[in-house]
Chains A and B, each alone.
Chain A
């Protein structure tokens, strides 16, 4: 009797020890920055695959717009953009992965919404990409607006809110449609190209890339309506103001650098800039890095190693890539867009 109890106890202890030995995560009392510095790398949750936002190049290295956000934070913290371990996360596990400490930053096309912000125990950083759900139709259908889509078959992917947005948009207008859901994006694209559906819907950035991929892009028209707001923002765990500052101001550095005309190529020249804000940003004067627990060169490193917002956009999504997105609302506020960085002072 007592012997078997002993055995159980030893087994239990062995299990606990085993689990503890496997644990690779931070003790909860530590700040994220301390944990990250001690670990020597940032754990960054990204999409397993989303053309332009997160994908693997021929050599298996992660590339993309979302990836560059994590690289910017890594450059700020470690003066090296590649001290990042990428954790591919699907939509259904992404927030839990952040909550449970599996990742430090979730940079995977998350839409910032009220319920997510208030009920999931996480905070969103600045919006890095303003998107919205749109509709695309073959040009030969001669449809000019979404209101003409009654009784249309609409192809979509089982995204978290894609179908709901469609419902929210069409139902008040009493427009009937048939939704055709595809699990896989290749199937979804081919169904649309082959005429299985009259229209296809997803975020406008994605629509633009689907159109760019088509054999003859001229055959397809993206309708003018944007039926939902999708501000994409990286997310972090709540209750770590310092880590939040680091993420926020890393993103603001990208935006401010574009505003000031500082690029990867000319950032060294700007060290001699007379502009006091640029001086503070690049750590020439003031102690801005120290205030958030980083080196004073943190901003300089971001621009030097990752570039400014415009460079990040063009490299991953812009007209020179196969996706060929235009900046749209993701222009600087000075050029009529929505991107705006608070001042560095």
Chain B
């Protein structure tokens, strides 16, 4: 149990940790690193390792790199193979989407990124965002799919590469989030029927791997459909990802809900708010704020989990890279180049999401506490 004295002590301790050590700014950096002999040895070993890997990476990427020629030059060379990127970059990014129409996916992704950038800025958080997203979704959908206004129709089997990964993640989370919140509310509901339904749904979905849900959607489902009726494969995978995301988001949100003291519910009731008003105005805003770290965790996880759709024959970003590496002209030559590029792109976007979440946490804490 926390007593008043504990709290007081904790508050007294805090500033003392921030007290600068002697020796100014330089000493503050050096002392923890080289203060004791063991620390010094560990630091030196780490620095050597860092130096060696930096040197190796630089040598591979720059000094020993093969900058021109074809596959044969790369096979003979010892470094990074830039001609591979030159020949395959567009394929790795956009996959089998028709080459002449790449501008459409580029434009669509630009729009999408711009909309996300606007959404990320707290100053724009109001109802106009909904309109912005309505327009963005329509425009990107039209651009990618085509079939109207003289744009060539591009079937979903040709949607691939990075745009497909974004699509699966964004739509999966956009639909999974509200569904997840509803499931979380249902699971903490007082009505037994609703609660049991939510528990069964969440536990069943969480109890099986995403791969098996994707398999169910892509292999089993069509066999149950009446003859000659097929649902688009991408749509099936997307729905599988949505329900999977919803189950995980529901648990993250429920964690947030449980952290809200009962007093908040009671206070809202005392104000005369009914259940939905209390949830919308009092409980959820606080619960979701608490749930930000696990929610971002789920988002990053799902961005990477979309690579699993390769198992049902959809060409996501990682599989277009692997396809590029298997071109008979390049097979066995540019393995490192392909995977490093994939790692780099995934790192950039995952780190971006993480950094934004930390910003969001700081910002919301300032706004409320």
Contact = CB atoms under 8 A, between A and B. Distances in A.
Contacts of B223: 96, 99-100
A34 to B, nearest CB: 12
Interface string A63-99: 0000000000000000000000111111011001101
B291 interface: no
A56 B96 contact: yes
A231 interface: no
B146 to A, nearest CB: 14
Nearest to A90: B313
Most buried by A among B95, B314, B329: B329
Interface string B268-305: 00000000000000000000000000000000000000
Interface stretch (A15-23, A127-135, A151-159, A275-283): A15-23
Interface in B219-244: 219, 222-223, 225, 227-233, 235
Given A48-B319, A58-B87, A60-B98, A23 B328 contact: no
Contacts of A185: 326
B233 A28 contact: no
Interface in A5-38: 19-20, 22-28
Most B Cβ at <10 Å: residue of A100, A209, A215: A100
Nearest to B328: A51
A190 interface: yes
- DSSP class of B's interface residues: helix, strand, loop or mixed? helix
A24 B153 CA distance: 14
A56 B95 CA distance: 8
B331 A102 contact: no
Interface residues of A, number: 47
A321 interface: yes
A51 B331 contact: yes
Nearest to B331: A51
Contact of A101 (B94, B155, B230, B315): B230
Contacts of B71: 322
Given A90-B312, A92-B219, A25 B228 contact: yes
B310 interface: yes
Nearest to A99: B223
Contacts of A58: 87-88, 90-91, 327
Contacts of A57: 327
A188 B218 CA distance: 27
A48 B313 contact: yes
Chain B residues touching A, range: 35 or more
Contact of A322 (B155, B310, B331): B331
A27 B228 contact: yes
B97 interface: yes
Nearest to A20: B229
Given A57-B327, A85-B157, A100 B230 contact: yes
Given A60-B95, A93-B313, A189 B327 contact: no
B285 to A, nearest CB: 30
Given A22-B235, A60-B99, A90 B94 contact: no
Given A87-B313, A96-B223, A322-B329, A56 B157 contact: no
A26 B222 contact: no
B225 A100 contact: yes
A49 B222 CA distance: 24
A293 to B, nearest CB: 20
A96 B219 contact: yes
A84 B229 CA distance: 20
A85 B332 CA distance: 28
A55 interface: yes
A88 B313 contact: yes
A269 interface: no
Interface of B: 71, 75, 87-88, 90-91, 94-99, 155, 157-158, 215, 218-219, 222-223, 225, 227-233, 235, 310-315, 319-320, 322-329, 331-333, 335
26 contacts: A19-B231, A20-B229, A22-B231, A24-B232, A25-B228, A25-B230, A49-B322, A49-B323, A52-B328, A55-B323, A56-B95, A58-B90, A60-B90, A60-B99, A85-B158, A88-B157, A92-B311, A93-B219, A93-B312, A100-B223, A100-B225, A102-B233, A213-B332, A214-B332, A215-B75, A321-B328
What 5 A-B pairs are tightest by C-beta distance, nearest first?
A: A100-B222, A213-B332, A28-B227, A59-B99, A25-B230
Given A85-B158, A186-B325, 11 more contacts: A23-B228, A23-B229, A27-B228, A56-B95, A56-B327, A58-B87, A60-B95, A87-B157, A97-B222, A97-B313, A100-B223
